[in-house]
Structure formats: C-alpha cells, structure tokens
A and B are shown apart, each in its own frame.
Chain A
C-alpha cells in the first residue's frame, strides 16, 4: 500500500519522454488568461494558433511544446506592454545545446532553434498585421547533463514586432536582434543576473525547405 501511494505521489513529478504534446495540451486555455487584451487576441486568432502549432511541429520537429506553450503573453514585470505571441518549447536531452556555461548554451540554443522559431511566429500574417500585438516571445528549456549532474535551464527572449520583422527579413542579424531583446536566463528555477548571449550570426540556422 505504501509503495503504491509513493508511486502515485511520484507521478506528479514525472513527465513526458515519449509522445509529443497535442495542440490541446500546448495551447494556453482561455480561462487561464487574466489580461483581457491577451485573451481577446487568443480568441480572435484561435485559428492562427492552431496553424502555428502545426507549423512548429513541421519545421522544428526536434522540440516539443511545454504545457501550456502557445499563447499571447506579456513579459514578466511589464504589464503595460501589449501581448506577445509566444511559444515555450522543450528540447530533450539529446537535442539540448552545448557550451561551457549558461550564456554559451543559450547562444547555441538560439543559433539552433531561436531564429527558426521566431520565423514561425512571424509567418502568422494575420497576427503580424494586428496592431494589438506587441511582439514575439520564445522560451526554450533544455536538460543539461554535466558530469553526474542534471539540471533544467531556460532561455527567455521577448522582442518587439519591428525588431522581429527586421530579423526575419534579413535587415537585422541575430546579435543585433538580441541586443534589442528582453532576455532572461534561468538555472533550474533560479534566475541568473542579466547575461549577454554571445550569439554568432554565422551560426544561426536558416529555415529548411518549406520553412523559410
């Protein structure tokens, strides 16, 4: 009996290794929106959120969605900003970034996935044309294994619409984009003091066929 109870307790801490999250699991449910402007955008662009899910699945298949991972969100501490179309993605252990420190791993994560995800967000034309949208957000978590230790790390990047559009159009490189972005890094759930992400423009992966 005790073992069964312990196992059930443990279930609340384990999660996904195999199957990828469904759209319903990935989407931030409307009742969970507290900001009326963000909820209104989620209602107005429900079909685009579905297309975004399909697009990310097809173009960035190495990653899975966090639950919930798709929605119109505002950066923490900036409630005055307009909502940003955002995705929160998770890399499995084999797809996690490399590097000697958190900043280097974040740079590798952005080079591998950040640019591709931003382009998928910007591909949603009706959202891009909606003046109520303030920008875009990419959150990426991965599991770091170093020696015997394992820990989750997370990179958060919010950018305004003009900068994101400049990046997607080629007028702005990744380094310049990140210089304008609101960036936060977490080691586990502990935020690290503001750190620069030393991204290399030449290493930012372009889109693949059918995923410009």
Chain B
C-alpha cells in the first residue's frame, strides 16, 4: 500500500513539474491566444503537429501546410531563428 502511494506521489510530482514547467514557457500573449479558442487544438492533425514539433526547429511538410489552412489551425508561422539572421 505504501509502495503504491509512493509511486502515485512520484507521478503526481512529475506531472506537476511538467505542467508548471510547460506553463512557464507560455507568454502572456500565448495564454491569451489559447483562451481565445474553444478547444485546445483545431484538430487531431493540429495536435499531432504541435506535439511532434516541440523542438526549436520545426519540421513542416506540405501536408501540414495544407491542413493548417483547411482546418484553420492557430499558432505562429514558422520563421527563421534569430541566429539565422543575426550575428549576436
């Protein structure tokens, strides 16, 4: 019983950390954008695209580009990273 509780506690702490960490990544405008829609994603494809592109260099296929239009995905457009433009 004690072992199960410990595992649940670890899971809770891990999940809480993830939530807090990811929530901290979102800016004021991102929260506002999120609240402005009635669902978290426009479609399953939109969610799949977001989940597979958590890194700094998103991979965008022609299929993604088409679906973003037909399914009205929201989010920011892919633009160059600052280090592709500037020598800071």
Which of B53, B65, B70 has the most chain A CB atoms closer than 10 A to its own CB?
Answer: B65
Q: Which residues of chain A have a CB within 8 Å of any CB of chain B?
A: 1, 3-19, 21, 25, 32-35, 38, 66-67, 73-79, 86, 88, 139, 141-143, 145, 147-152, 154, 156, 184, 186, 188-189, 191
Q: A6-B47, A189-B84 are in contact. Are A149 and B66 (CB under 8 A)?
A: yes
Compute how far the CA of A111 lies from the CA of B46 in the bound complex, rounded to whole angstroms: 34
- Report which of B46, B84, B87 forms a contact with A191, defined as CB distance below 8 A: B84
Q: Are B36 and A152 in contact (CB under 8 A)?
A: no
Main secondary structure of the interface of B (DSSP, over half): helix
* Whole-angstrom distance between the Cβ of B3 and the nearest chain A Cβ: 22
Q: CB distance A141 to B30 under 8 Å?
A: no
The 7 nearest A-B residue pairs measured at CB: A152-B77, A7-B40, A15-B76, A149-B65, A148-B69, A16-B29, A11-B26
**Among B30, B62, B87, contact of A78 (Cβ-Cβ < 8 Å):** B87
Are the C-beta atoms of A156 and B85 separated by less than 8 Å? Answer: yes
- Listed in ascending order, the chain B residues whose CB lies under 8 Å from chain A are 15, 18-19, 22-23, 25-34, 36, 40-41, 46-47, 50-51, 53-54, 57-58, 60, 62, 65-70, 73-81, 83-88
Chain A contact residues: helix, strand, loop or mixed: mixed
Q: Determine the distance from Cα of A9 to Cα of B62 in the docked complex, in whole angstroms.
A: 23
- Whether B53 and A15, one on each chain, are in contact in the complex, defined by CB atoms closer than 8 angstroms, is no
Contacts A3-B40, A8-B19, A76-B85; A188 near B26 (Cβ below 8 A): no
Residues of B within 8 A of A139 (CB): 85
Interface pairs (21), CB distance under 8 Å: A5-B19, A7-B40, A10-B40, A11-B34, A12-B30, A14-B33, A14-B74, A14-B75, A16-B32, A35-B87, A67-B27, A73-B88, A74-B88, A76-B87, A143-B77, A145-B69, A149-B69, A151-B60, A152-B76, A152-B78, A189-B79
Q: How far is the CA of A35 from the CA of B47 in the complex (A)?
A: 39
New A-B pairs, 15, CB < 8 Å, besides A10-B47, A67-B27, A75-B87? A8-B19, A10-B40, A15-B27, A15-B30, A15-B75, A17-B74, A18-B33, A25-B27, A38-B88, A73-B85, A74-B88, A76-B85, A149-B65, A188-B78, A189-B58
- Which residues of B lie under 8 Å from residue A149 when comparing CB positions? 62, 65-66, 68-69
Shortest CB-to-CB span from B50 to chain A, Å, is 4
